[in-house]
Each structure stands twice: as C-alpha cells, then as structure tokens.
Amino acid sequence: MTQYLLVVAFTAVLTFGLTWLVWRLSIRYKLYPGIRERDVHKTPTPRLGGVAMYLGVLAAFVASSQHPFFAIFWADPGAVWAIIGATTLIVIVGVADDVWDLDWMIKLGAQIVAAGIIAWFGKLQILSLPIGGLTVGSSWMSFVLTVLAIVIVMNAVNFIDGLDGLVAGVALIANAVFFAYSYLLVRDAGATTYFNLASFIAAALIGACIGFLPWNWSPAKLFMGDGGALMLGLLMAVSAIAITGQVTPSQLDPDNFGRSQLLGAFIPILLPIAIVLLPLLDFGLAIIRRVGAGKSPFSPDRKHLHHRMLDMGHADRDAVLIFYAWTAVIGLALLLMYIGTSSDWPGEYLIGVAYGILGIAACLVVTLTPPARRRAPQESS
C-alpha cells in the first residue's frame, strides 16, 4: 500500500507544478478560446490542463518502470506501451479539439483507434464477466465489446465536463473507490502480490486529479479540456477492464470465495459501472435527446445534467458537490457490500446496504430541493 501512496503523492506534486506551468504559458500566449453559447463560465479560460495531467501520469508510468515493486506489469510491457500510446493519441486529439474545435467524426475515429490499440496491441480485453461463469464467446466479440466499452466511458466522462472542478472531483472519488476495490479483489482472488496494473492506474489518476483540482476549483484558472477528460475516461475504462474483465469467473465462484450467492456475484461488474454511473446516465440521455431531435449524437447542447441542476436553482459549486455526493454514495455503498460478501460476517454488507439507501435518499432530497426552492416559503411569509 505504501508504494501506491507514493505513486499518488508523486503524481499529485508533479501534476500541480505542471498545471501551474501550463497555465502560465496559456495566459502568456493567449491559448484560450472564446466563450461558447453552452459554456457556464463568463471569462475566457485556457483548456489545456489535460496536458499537465497527461505528463503527470506519464511520469508515473516511467518512474514505475524503475521500481521493483511494479515489475509485475512491466514483465510483459506490451500492455503498458499500448496504454501509453493510446493515451498519447487521445490527448493530442483532445488538445487539438480544444484549440481548433474538430469535427465530431474525427474525434470519434480517434477514440475508436485508441481503444483498438488497447484491445489489439495491449491485449487488454473483456474476456469474461464475473456473473455465473459468463465468458465472451469469441476473440472478435471480445475485441468489439472492449472497444465499445472504452469509447462509451471516454465520452461519458467528457460529457459531464461543464462545471469548475466537476470531472476532476468525480474522477478523484471514483478512482479512490475503484483503487480500494481492485486492491481487495486481487487479494481475494488469491494473488501472490497486490501490485497490479489496474490499481496502479487508479493511483496515478488519483494523484493527477489531486494535483489539478486546486487550479480547476471554482473560479477555475484552467480547464482540463477534452484532452484531460478523454484521458481520464480512457484510463478509467482500461483499469476496469484490466482487473474485472481479466478475472476468470472460477476465481470468484461463491463456493471458493465465500460470497453471497445473489448480489455478491454481480458486484465485481456493478462497481466499475457504478463509479461512472452519473457520466453514463448523462451520456445515455444526451444520445437519446439528440438522436430524437434528428441531430448528431455528439452535437453539443446545454441540456446536460449539470446544466439542468443550474436551471433548477443550484449554484455552480452546489451542483458540483452534489455530483461528488452521488458518486461517493453509490461507489462506497457497493464497495462496502463487496467487502461484506467476501467475508463470513455480513456486517459490512448490511452497512453497505443501509448506507446506500440513506445516502441515496439524502442525495435525492438535496438534488430536488435547491436552495432557491428551500428559501421560497420563508421569503413568501
């Protein structure tokens, strides 16, 4: 665990310093676009923060290659180099879009290529789903399913990037939960070492988000842009595939694993989905909304979930904090349930269920009753 904490600290400090440098250069050379109709901010702000986050994560990978504790995933470096190559491609395309506003088909094509690099050259594919021994039928199906999953998560994360600190904070919480999950899953699967690629990626992303968030908190000095949001989505999807999609169903068999027969078998696939549930929900609603209106599914608009929360009467920071709360409640509830189903004592499982019910209820109340609505009765009296 200490080595992972060092990864977080190293990436955070480096990303913080690099973000300052990118911000200074962006201001000096006026590397910021004008205000768009769908934008919430009122002052032109640089969008190249993703470059600093990328360099911080890249430095963490380079440093890990020299560390014996992480030799386990450098023993066969093909997957690591594929991840670095795909991430580099998607950051370049994302930064180009932030500067020149590329056509959506170009961006989608680059996303498919990046996901294909991961699945084909990195050989990181969804081989099985830990649900009742379900395996993917063929290598072709596995490849297509992997590419589709990565592209969806990339766009889902990118779609919610509309408020100061929103994506960085949500990704920070989501990756913290996923780090704990992947660490425990490897332990429970009987591995000889807890060091694995999925946990390392999650730790590096935690550090990158910690280092970037102070510059992105409202009022933001710098945005991560498409380069940063797409990178986060790509690496979050890859880390989930690297652990959940690679664990064989027999390793999670209830007879060998001591877990609940019902929900326990579903948690290994539910939790990776749950940590990006809000981005996935926003992505799905956007696709339905735009296709229903006869538009491109990637045409921008001002009807995302965060926009709707602002229209309800939530302040920018309140809306961001509510997104944080939803992410933490859903992720931690499933994590506690996972811990409970992997032990003989059901206490953690029941705590997870209770926490989830109470947390969701509290989030619903806060979401549906913005401050303006709560003050209305007092003002009218």
The string of pLDDT tens digits covering residues 138-177 is: 678 889 989 998 999 999 899 888 889 999 999 999 999 9
What's the rounded mean pLDDT across residues 63-80?
A: 87
What's the rounded mean pLDDT across residues 100-115?
A: 92
Q: What is the pLDDT of residue 380?
A: 35
Q: What is the pLDDT of residue 75?
A: 83
Residue linked to tokens 């430095």: 59
Share of the chain above pLDDT 90, in %: 40
**Does 38 have pLDDT greater than 70?**
no
pLDDT band for position 376 (cuts 50, 70, 90): very low
Q: What is the pLDDT of residue 258?
A: 45
Question: What Rg do the C-alpha atoms of the chain give, in angstroms?
Answer: 21
Total domains in the fold of the chain: 1
Q: Is the distance from CB of 378 to CB of 289 less than 8 angstroms?
A: no
Closest CA to 160 of 48, 269, 277, 239: 277
pLDDT band for position 297 (cuts 50, 70, 90): confident
**Separation between Cα atoms, residue 299 and residue 314, nearest integer Å:** 25
pLDDT digits (tens, 9 = 90+) for 347-363: 666 777 888 899 999 99
What's the rounded mean pLDDT across residues 177-197?
A: 76
Give CA 173 to chain center in angstroms: 9
Q: What is the pLDDT of residue 194?
A: 64
Q: What is the pLDDT of residue 267?
A: 60
- Amino acid identity of 284? G
**Residue 362: count of CB within 10 angstroms of its CB:** 12
378 within a domain of the structure (yes/no): no
- Amino acid identity of 5? L
What's the rounded mean pLDDT across residues 304-325?
A: 87
379 within a domain of the structure (yes/no): no
Q: Is the distance from CB of 4 to CB of 203 less than 8 angstroms?
A: yes
Strand partners, 134: 129
380 within a domain of the structure (yes/no): no
65 within a domain of the structure (yes/no): yes
Is omega for the bond preceding 33 within 30 degrees of 0, making it cis? no
Q: What is the pLDDT of residue 229?
A: 95
Residues of the domain holding 112? 2-34+43-372
193 within a domain of the structure (yes/no): yes
377 within a domain of the structure (yes/no): no
What's the rounded mean pLDDT across residues 262-273?
A: 59
Q: Is the distance from CB of 164 to CB of 320 less than 8 angstroms?
A: yes
Q: Is the pTM of this model over 0.75?
A: yes
Name the most confidently modeled range: 91-95, 118-122, 288-292, 302-306: 91-95
112 within a domain of the structure (yes/no): yes
Mean pLDDT of the chain: 82
290 within a domain of the structure (yes/no): yes
Closest CA to 158 of 146, 172, 168, 145: 168
